[in-house]
């Protein structure tokens, strides 16, 4: 009995030392960003090429990385937050809208945005235009990932 008690005390004293030697503790699984878990630990990474917005400061090529936020996108924090809203809602803002729907025949201008990369572990390769009401709405819904465009 005495031998068992000595073993228990020795084990209890050795456990913290063994844990300290193993390095810093890993964060709990629940604290890791969901996106990073879904795509193998890689951040969301999108290249956005914008032209014809009517705003020379908005036209150009941008890199947007989320979790952690990075790249040269002028509104990276807000853009990543917007993409996070889509993820929480289970919506893919880059999916083509295949529903048959009536769209107003209004011209939103010549702006285009080509988006490639990965988001939520899925490849992205899509183009946004503003040639009718549905496409204008799709563009506006993705702001500030896409810059505001004026007609």
Is the pLDDT at 27 greater than 80? The verdict is no
pTM: 0.70
Q: What is the Cα gyration radius of the chain?
A: 24
Q: What is the rounded average pLDDT for all residues in the chain?
A: 79
pLDDT the model gives residue 31:
37
Is the pLDDT at 58 greater than 60? The verdict is yes
Confidence of residue 12 (pLDDT cuts 50, 70, 90): very low
Rounded distance between C-alpha atoms, residue 45 and residue 117, angstroms: 6
Is the pLDDT at 7 greater than 70? The verdict is no
What are the structural domains of the chain? 33-141 (3.30.350)
pLDDT, tens digit, 9 for 90 and up, residues 94-149: 988 777 788 888 888 999 999 999 999 999 999 999 999 999 999 999 999 999 87
pLDDT the model gives residue 28:
40
CA nearest 127: which of 149, 105, 95, 88? 95
Torsion-angle region of residue 94: left (phi > 0), alpha (psi -120 to 50) or beta? alpha
């Amino acid at each position: 009995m005495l031998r068992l008690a000595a073993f228990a005390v020795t084990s209890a004293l050795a456990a913290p030392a063994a844990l300290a030697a193993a390095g810093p503790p890993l964060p709990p699984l629940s604290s890791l960003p969901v996106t990073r878990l879904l795509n193998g630990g890689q951040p969301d990474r999108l290249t956005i090429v914008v032209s014809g917005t009517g705003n020379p400061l908005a036209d150009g090529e941008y890199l947007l990385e989320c979790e952690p936020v990075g790249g040269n996108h002028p509104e990276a924090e807000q853009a990543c937050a917007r993409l996070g809203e889509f993820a929480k809602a289970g919506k893919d803002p880059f999916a083509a809208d295949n529903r048959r729907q009536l769209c107003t025949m209004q011209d939103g201008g010549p702006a285009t945005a080509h988006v490639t990369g990965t988001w939520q572990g899925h490849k992205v390769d899509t183009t946004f235009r503003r040639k009718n009401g549905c496409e204008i709405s799709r563009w506006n819904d993705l702001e500030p990932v896409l810059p505001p465009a004026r007609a």
